[in-house]
């Protein structure tokens, strides 16, 4: 089979004009990266959601820049054609543009990310501008911003009032004006996502934001059905790996206990 062409930032930007939807999934290690890349995804996102699905925290806040560098390096080893984007974790973009640049630089230089994602709107525009000026592409992330879970009072849909919608639209425009090449829209009404997608020049990538974005992103553990207790309305589970994994490990355990695994050695020919 012919090797897939590398997906670059210009490829992704051109996809909006060509009306080709951008397929994004998260990845946190080399094995999942290799499998998702082989499935033809456009972007592998090393999301700080790893704090919840890999590390077992109840938010993304405890994730450190060292954690992000570690997982990004692992994902890079399994990535071939997909574009590799990594999250700047909690506080790394909001203290100062210089601190944000240092964190972004680590993800690119040590983790081998090809772009970084930053949560925030107008407030982080100076950080985005500084990072982009240094030659690092930035993906924005507005709407429901999991790093602001305490300010939002939980993982709740944003943009429920006219004023809130206007703020989100202003955030979208500020992030794009600062130089972001793409924009994640999370947890906002579908009609607002449609309006932002129509008004900004860069591709929008939605999660819990309806069907009118230029692409979609899901946490890979969620789309594979790894957590039977996580069933938000936007999520479609494309597999039941929780059942498959627990069933396989149970069968292995049963066979070990019964003395059926490993089987007796095959006598070698004399």
Of 27-35, 47-55, 160-168, 190-198, the window that binds ligand KIV (rule: CB under 6 A) is 47-55
- Which residue among 12, 16, 25, 26 contacts ligand KIV (CB under 6 A)? 26
Task: Establish if 219 lies at the interface with ligand KIV (CB under 6 A).
Answer: yes
Task: Establish if 216 lies at the interface with ligand KIV (CB under 6 A).
Answer: no
Task: Establish if 48 lies at the interface with ligand KIV (CB under 6 A).
Answer: yes
* Minimum CB distance to ligand KIV smaller for 213 or for 268: 213
Of 110, 114, 186, 255, catalytic: 186
Site string for ligand KIV, 174-203 (x = CB under 6 A): ----------x-x-----------------
Task: Establish if 214 lies at the interface with ligand KIV (CB under 6 A).
Answer: no
Task: Establish if 207 lies at the interface with ligand KIV (CB under 6 A).
Answer: yes
Of 45-53, 78-86, 147-155, 229-237, the window that binds ligand KIV (rule: CB under 6 A) is 45-53
Site string for ligand KIV, 120-149 (x = CB under 6 A): ---------------------x--------
Find the shortest distance in angstroms from Cβ 91 to ligand KIV: 15
Q: Residue 114 catalytic?
A: no
* Minimum CB distance to ligand KIV smaller for 238 or for 252: 238
Find the shortest distance in angstroms from Cβ 45 to ligand KIV: 6
Q: Is 135 left (phi over 0), alpha (psi -120 to 50) or beta?
A: left
Site for ligand KIV in 77-96 (CB under 6 A): 87
* Minimum CB distance to ligand KIV smaller for 26 or for 72: 26
Query: Do 238 and 223 contact (CB within 8 A), yes or no?
Result: yes
Dist. CA 216–CA 184, nearest whole Å? 9
Dist. CA 13–CA 203, nearest whole Å? 6
Query: Do 81 and 110 contact (CB within 8 A), yes or no?
Result: no
The binding site for ligand KIV (CB under 6 A) comprises 26, 45, 47-49, 87, 141, 184, 186, 207, 217, 219
Which residues carry out catalysis? 186
């Amino acid at each position: 089979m012919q090797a897939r062409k590398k997906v670059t930032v210009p490829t992704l930007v051109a996809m909006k004009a060509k009306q080709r939807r951008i397929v994004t999934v998260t990845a946190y290690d080399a094995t999942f990266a290799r499998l998702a890349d082989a499935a033809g995804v456009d972007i592998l996102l090393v999301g700080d959601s790893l704090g919840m699905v890999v590390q077992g925290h109840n938010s993304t806040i405890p994730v450190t820049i060292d954690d992000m560098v570690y997982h990004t390096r692992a994902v890079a080893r399994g990535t071939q054609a997909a574009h590799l984007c990594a999250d700047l974790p909690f506080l790394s973009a909001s203290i100062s543009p210089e601190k944000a640049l240092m964190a972004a630089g680590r993800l690119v230089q040590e983790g081998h990310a090809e772009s970084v994602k930053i949560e925030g709107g107008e407030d982080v525009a100076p950080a985005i501008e500084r990072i982009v000026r240094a030659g690092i592409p930035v993906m924005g992330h507005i709407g429901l911003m999991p790093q602001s879970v305490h300010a939002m009072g939980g993982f709740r849909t944003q943009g429920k009032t006219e004023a809130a919608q206007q703020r989100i639209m202003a955030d979208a425009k500020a992030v794009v004006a600062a130089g972001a090449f793409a924009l994640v829209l999370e947890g906002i009404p579908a009609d607002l996502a449609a309006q932002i997608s129509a008004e900004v020049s860069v591709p929008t990538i939605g999660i819990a934001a309806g069907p009118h974005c230029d692409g979609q992103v899901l946490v890979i553990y969620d789309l594979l059905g790894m957590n039977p207790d996580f069933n938000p309305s936007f999520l479609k589970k494309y597999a039941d790996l929780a059942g498959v994994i627990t069933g396989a490990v149970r069968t292995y355990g049963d066979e070990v206990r019964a003395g059926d695994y490993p089987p007796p050695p095959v006598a070698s020919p004399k």
